[in-house]
Amino acid sequence: MDEELISVLDLSSQLGKRKQTVSKILKRLGIETRRERTLNARGQQIAYVTMKESRLIADEFRVTSKADHEVITEAQPDEHGVFYLLLLEPSHDPGRFKVGFAVSLPERLRTLKCSTPFLQVVDSWSCKHLWEKTAIDCVTEGCEQLHTEVFRAKAIDTVVQRCQAFFKLMPKLSHQSRSGSGSEDSG
């Protein structure tokens, strides 16, 4: 390869943006990433762009108006949404579940249905994005981690109870959450 490359993840970090935000800019600019397997990523494919493309992406963020910039990036840690608990294949593997944060649960479910058409929503709780990692660590204690947010439990009821206990301790969020899920707190 003649051109120097930078991973999308490293570029996101340098720009102080979420990877998803940078990916949206890539799509808007029509930039195709190159995928390569690396030893640092344990053989997984990583998305890369050229340094020239990375400068175009950085320029795009600079020209974005301050108001748009705040909507896309600055509100992220305090952003309200939901923490969800999903069964991925309830009939085939009832202990395998996914947990995570979504600003819009219906939108998140729509994207997940492509790869996991049998998924079922167990429950969701009002949540700040900032709480996601702590909630995952808390509710998945003792579970087998299969992927970043995918786990296996002997009994999903235990995970539900941990979620309820965790969110019962957290401050109540206003109902002005932008989750769009219509889900209420169960705890």
Burial tier of 16 (Cβ tally within 10 Å: 0-12, 13-18, 19+): exposed
| Cβ partners under 8 Å of residue 172, min gap 6 | 126, 185
- pTM value > 0.75: no
Q: Which domains does the chain have, with CATH numbers?
A: 5-74 (1.10.1660), 80-169 (no CATH)
What's the number of CA atoms in the CB half-sphere (13 Å) around residue 33? 20
User: Tell me, what's the pLDDT at 143?
Assistant: 97
Positions in the chain short of pLDDT 70: 1-2, 38-43, 63-78, 175-187
Buried-exposed string 61-100: b where 16+ CB fall within 10 A, e elsewhere: beeeeeeeeeebbeeeeebbbbbbbbbbebeeeebbbbbb
